[in-house]
């Protein structure tokens, strides 16, 4: 099931679930103690019931307040209307990584430096980097940032893993904004990753509670389009080819650690905007549209920070 968070005009927050095509139902309107996806994860942890089963029980008690998804998207883009979509989750930390998660051809791997071969062939040691905390994360129709001291920053459309108490529980998508500071000096890795608006997420969370599915590599279509002055200047599309399952990737990420209860991980399966095979950098005012099969899309404007 797909879960959204909605903010009404006067600040009331609703956790909603998609109940039919173009229709969201507010779980909050049925039970006011439920305003966040983490409420459902906590309840699942306590009761040992699946999140979607808990949701079905809640929906069985009342019809609930309905929202039209297309209207919410229009209001969110235009920053007007009685309700808008906000980021679906507020993680305590976010991480970016994934080098070694994706399949690299044998020919490309043979040409790679020894350190690349070592990390690629040692998947149990995660290459995940710290990406900051929730207040640096923006929603599906908010502004992402690019640092003014960075020569080139690109958008990376990625599948996001939702991690609860060290376990994989679902996915979303977002923009893992990547600057080139780290390529100039390794000591600039953190400022290259952590800054205002350095990542986006949304529009929803797709719960994933089937153990058989979660123990297989994900293969989903990611697309990215980048616009400048309303003109398409770059695009990209991939079907993600992970070496390992979400369960295995998350296990290596949290090994040797005691992470917060709720974190997100940009998985490294990314789509990048190109024109004539050249990477297209982000400029102030650009708009980036990223979509993920079965989940939805995020649309973020770029601002300098």
What is the rounded CA–CA span in Å between residue 219 and residue 283?
A: 31
CA separation, residue 32 to residues 15, 28, 47, 65, 270 (Å): 10, 5, 19, 12, 37
pLDDT < 70 stretches in the chain: none
222 and 207 both lie in a single domain: yes
Q: How many Cα atoms occupy the beta-carbon half-sphere of 229 within 13 Å?
A: 0
**Tens of pLDDT, residues 50-84:** 999 999 999 999 899 999 999 999 999 998 889 99
Contacts of 93 (CB under 8 A, 6+ apart): 130, 131, 132, 133, 134, 259, 260, 263, 264
What is the rounded CA–CA span in Å between residue 231 and residue 229?
A: 5
26 and 133 both lie in a single domain: no
CATH number at residue 168: 3.90.850.10
Query: Rounded to the nearest 5 degrees, what angle is found at the Cα of 193, between the Cα atoms of 190 and 199?
Result: 150
42 and 151 both lie in a single domain: no
42 and 78 both lie in a single domain: yes
Q: What is the pTM of this model?
A: 0.95
* pLDDT at residue 146, rounded to an integer: 96
Establish whether the linkage from the previous residue to 203 is cis, with ω within 30° of 0. yes
Tokens of 112: 């790679």
Task: Determine whether 188 is exposed, middle or buried from the number of CB atoms within 10 Å of its CB (0-12, 13-18, 19+).
Answer: middle
* pLDDT at residue 199, rounded to an integer: 97
Q: Which domain holds residue 188?
A: 93-304
Exposure string for 158-175, b = 16+ CB within 10 A, e = fewer? bbbbbbbebebbbbbbbb
11 and 141 both lie in a single domain: no
Distance of alpha carbon 95 from the chain centroid: 11
**Domain end call among 42, 60, 86:** 86
142 and 80 both lie in a single domain: no
79 and 114 both lie in a single domain: no
* pLDDT at residue 227, rounded to an integer: 98
What is the rounded CA–CA span in Å between residue 60 and residue 264?
A: 30
61 and 79 both lie in a single domain: yes
Q: What is the number of H-type helices and E-type strands within the chain? A: 9, 22
What is the rounded CA–CA span in Å between residue 170 and residue 162?
A: 5
Contacts of 235 (CB under 8 A, 6+ apart): 223, 224, 225, 226, 273, 274, 275
82 and 98 both lie in a single domain: no
What is the rounded CA–CA span in Å between residue 48 and residue 42?
A: 10
* pLDDT at residue 94, rounded to an integer: 96
194 and 278 both lie in a single domain: yes
**Domain end call among 86, 115, 134:** 86
124 and 49 both lie in a single domain: no
For the chain, what is the domain count?
A: 2
25 and 130 both lie in a single domain: no
**Domain end call among 70, 86, 102:** 86
């Amino acid at each position: 099931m797909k879960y959204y968070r909605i903010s009404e005009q006067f600040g009331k927050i609703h956790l909603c679930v998609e109940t039919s095509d173009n229709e969201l139902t507010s779980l909050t309107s049925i039970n006011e103690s439920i305003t966040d996806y983490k409420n459902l994860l906590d309840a699942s942890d306590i009761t040992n019931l699946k999140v979607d089963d808990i949701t079905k029980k809640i929906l069985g008690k009342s019809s609930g307040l309905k929202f039209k998804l297309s209207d919410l998207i229009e209001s969110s883009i235009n920053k007007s209307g009685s309700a808008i979509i906000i980021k679906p989750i507020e993680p305590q930390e976010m991480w970016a990584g994934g080098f070694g998660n994706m399949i690299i051809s044998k020919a490309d791997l043979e040409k790679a430096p020894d350190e690349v071969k070592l990390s690629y062939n040692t998947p149990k040691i995660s290459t995940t980097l710290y990406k900051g905390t929730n207040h640096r994360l923006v929603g599906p129709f908010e502004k992402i940032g690019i640092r003014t001291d960075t020569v080139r920053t690109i958008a990376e459309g990625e599948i996001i893993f939702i991690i609860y108490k060290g376990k994989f529980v679902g996915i979303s998508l977002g923009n893992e904004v990547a600057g080139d500071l780290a390529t100039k000096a390794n000591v600039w890795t953190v400022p290259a990753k952590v800054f205002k608006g350095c990542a986006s997420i949304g529009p929803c969370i797709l719960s994933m509670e089937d153990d058989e599915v979660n123990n297989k590599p994900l293969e989903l279509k990611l697309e990215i389009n980048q616009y400048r002055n309303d003109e398409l200047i770059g695009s990209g599309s991939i079907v993600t080819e992970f070496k390992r399952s979400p369960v295995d990737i998350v296990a290596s990420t949290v090994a040797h650690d005691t992470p917060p209860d709720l974190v997100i991980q940009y998985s490294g399966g990314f789509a990048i905007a190109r024109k004539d095979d050249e990477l297209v950098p982000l400029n102030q005012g650009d708009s980036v549209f990223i979509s993920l099969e079965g989940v939805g899309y995020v649309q973020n404007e770029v601002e300098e920070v």
